[in-house]
Amino acid sequence: MLFLTSGLNVICGDRFRASTTFQAPCRARYCFDCLKDLVPTCVGDESLFPLRCCQQFLPVSRVLDLVPSGLRTRFEAKSREFSTLANDRLYCSNSTCSRYLGSAQNFTSRGNHPASCFHCYRLTCALCKEPFHPDENCAENTALVQLKAIAAEQHRQTCPRCDRIIEFHHGCYHITCSCRMEFCYLCAVPWTNWGCP
């Protein structure tokens, strides 16, 4: 039997057969048990999504082939959620449910503002993300517009991806938001397209 030598980058440090390992693009090696631990960690903490090692993305299809089907299903559901911009995510407004319903834009683009939860059967307004309120204006949207106006008056910037309000204290104008969007604090243009005067 072939065993990995100590010279290889082995994640858990244990010795194991080469046939029971997964090699990441960065050449790090995972035993299958460590790989099975990595997936639920990623599912439970959005800052660890997508699956990666040494800042390089892991080939998801190969990883998911090595984990149990229930974990694969959970990962695929969370991938859909985490791949949606944070500000665009729609969750069930029933606080005891709070299931992810999808992208709010998918509901509003079809002119369909109520989103039905298939778990608790409650309706959520896709515009304001509160319980559905037919024939009433969305108070939440009005408050958000007012908040952004106040932030702009106080020279605060809004993240172009997730709409979080960012306050600048000192340093470089290259901002990295918690949603991982990189942009210029002065003009809010994505950093890759930066050409701020």
Beta bridge partners of 124: 115, 131
> For 106-116, what is each residue's pLDDT tens digit?
877 665 578 89
* Amino acid type, 194: W
> For 28-75, what is each residue's pLDDT tens digit?
888 888 888 888 888 888 888 889 888 889 998 888 888 888 989 999
How far is Cα 125 from Cα 110, in angstroms, rounded to an integer?
13
Residue 32 contacts residue 23 (beta carbons within 8 Å) = no
List the domain boundaries for the chain.
18-82, 86-125, 155-193
Q: In sequence order, what are the residues at sequence separation of 6 or more whose Cβ sits closer than 8 angstroms to the Cβ of residue 59? A: 25
The pTM for the full model equals 0.61
Predicted confidence at residue 92, as pLDDT, reads 93
How does DSSP assign 82-101, residue by residue? HTS-GGGEEE-S-TTT--EE
Predicted confidence at residue 4, as pLDDT, reads 44
